[in-house]
């Protein structure tokens, strides 16, 4: 392992982080309002590009997050930075919450679709009409999963905003290199 690995994240970790951030943001922007109401009115999700893109990006988030977790288990050690204990605790809690939301959002979306017997419609014409394992499960009836999904979607955007603000604070005020450790190297291709 080279010396630079102690002050910067590896290239694959950077790629996972930034691609996930972009995909989550686009999925949030494209998140169709009142999706369930549209479906109950007989709107076919395949006719709505926002729904198709939102669902495709949601599945992409799930796949990226699972691959990213595998990489975290195998990658070189993450850089360590000296921080006050309360700041360190907040950082760990924020990261744990973000990881939890990255997994929970796609799961709650599948629960919402399955429990309401709506199809999962993806780019390329991929469509799963019914998810009986979800529809027939006890968990499907525990909540209005569409409302839970919407709440968690709002939560991840607020938390990601807080995460970004903290990174900027570290960069501008503390000048401790934390933000730089997550940015591509200058002059790299």
Q: What is the pLDDT of residues 90-114, one digit of tens each?
A: 999 999 999 999 999 999 999 999 9
Tell me which H or E stretch contains 120: strand 120-121
Angle at 62 between CA 59 and CA 67, to 5 degrees: 130
**What is the C-alpha end-to-end distance of the chain, expressed in Å?**
21
Burial letters for 93-124: b for 16+ Cβ neighbours within 10 Å, e otherwise?
eeeebbeebbebbbbbbbbbbbbbebbbbbee
**CATH number of the domain at 3-182, out of 1.10.10, 1.20.950, 1.20.120, 2.40.50?**
1.20.950
Tell me the C-alpha distance between 165 and 179, whole Å: 10
Domain residue ranges of the chain, discontinuous segments joined by +:
3-182
Q: What is the mean pLDDT of residues 62-70?
A: 98
pTM: 0.89
Residue 51 neighbours by CB under 8 Å, 6+ apart: 32, 35, 38, 45, 121
Binned at pLDDT 50, 70 and 90, residue 187 comes out as low
Q: What is the structure's pLDDT at 3?
A: 36
């Amino acid at each position: 392992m080279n010396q630079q690995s102690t002050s910067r994240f590896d290239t694959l970790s950077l790629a996972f982080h930034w691609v996930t951030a972009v995909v989550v943001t686009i999925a949030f922007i494209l998140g169709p309002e009142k999706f369930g109401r549209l479906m109950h009115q007989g709107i076919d999700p395949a006719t709505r590009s926002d729904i198709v893109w939102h669902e495709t990006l949601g599945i992409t988030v799930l796949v990226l997050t699972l691959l990213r977790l595998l990489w975290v288990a195998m990658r070189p050690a993450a850089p360590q930075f000296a921080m006050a204990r309360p700041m360190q605790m907040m950082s760990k809690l924020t990261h744990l919450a973000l990881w939890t939301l990255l997994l929970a959002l796609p799961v709650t979306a599948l629960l919402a679709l399955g429990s309401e017997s709506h199809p999962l419609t993806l780019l390329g014409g991929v469509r799963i009409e019914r998810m009986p394992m979800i529809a027939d499960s006890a968990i499907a009836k525990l909540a209005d999963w569409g409302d839970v999904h919407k709440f968690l979607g709002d939560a991840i955007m607020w938390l990601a905003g807080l995460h970004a603000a903290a990174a900027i604070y570290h960069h501008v005020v503390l000048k401790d290199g934390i933000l730089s450790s997550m940015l591509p190297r200058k002059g790299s291709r």
